[in-house]
Amino acid sequence: MQGHGGGPKSRAGKAASSRNAVTHGLTTSAPVVRQVESIEDWERHAEQVIASIEPEGYLETQLAVRAAGLLWRLRRVAEYEAEHISLALEQIPEDYAATAKYAAGVSGKPIEEMTLEKARMQTGVRLIPGPDTVTQITRYETFLHRQLIQTLHEIEAMQARRRGEHAPLARLDISGPPGP
């Protein structure tokens, strides 16, 4: 009759073992947009974030997975901004042609050719998205960043308590305006 190993004995082994269910279940709640992102990239990202945080126990591991998801979404915000700028730059020839055609129709002058200087000027003004897009990006990025920092602070406090240390942060929870 063969005996049971009883699982890992070291602290590091126990910590790694406690993450197995989450690590192997990362695809179930993956924040992956299937058309443009891969499950494999998400799993690699999440595993690296979890390993960096070194959580112990279920709650710390779940918070580490949350941090991974927030970082994943923050990366997506940067990609959105870059793609928005790329699309605006690709529109330069069409926009210039339409504007030049309209101006020629109004003024009766021939359509002006696109010069390198005019192209550079159009490129420069399109390197930053318009105010509505910047506001949208900034709000979303700020929200995700705040959630990430709160999650990391919670993990840090839990880990400090587990080590018998005082949590390194002072906390103030504000849930809204005071009642009457």
Tell me what pLDDT residue 3 has: 47
Residue partners of 101: CB distance under 8 A and separation at least 6: 111
pLDDT digits (tens, 9 = 90+) for 25-46: 555 678 898 898 999 999 999 9
Tell me what pLDDT residue 119 has: 78
**Helical pair 116-126 and 57-90, crossing angle rounded to 10 deg:** 150
Tokens of 149: 């920092």
Spans in the chain with pLDDT lower than 70 = 1-28, 168-180
Tokens of 95: 């926009």
CA pair distance 155, 167, nearest whole angstrom: 10
Tell me what pLDDT residue 15 has: 52
Tell me what pLDDT residue 12 has: 60
Tell me the DSSP string of 50-108: HHHH---HHHHHHHHHHHHHHHHHHHHHHHHHHHHHHHHHHTHHHHHHHHHHHHHHHH-
Tell me what pLDDT residue 24 has: 46
Residue 51 CB coordination number (10 Å): 13
Tell me what pLDDT residue 178 has: 60
Tell me what pLDDT residue 154 has: 94
Task: Report pTM.
Answer: 0.69
Tell me what pLDDT residue 130 has: 86
Tell me what pLDDT residue 176 has: 60
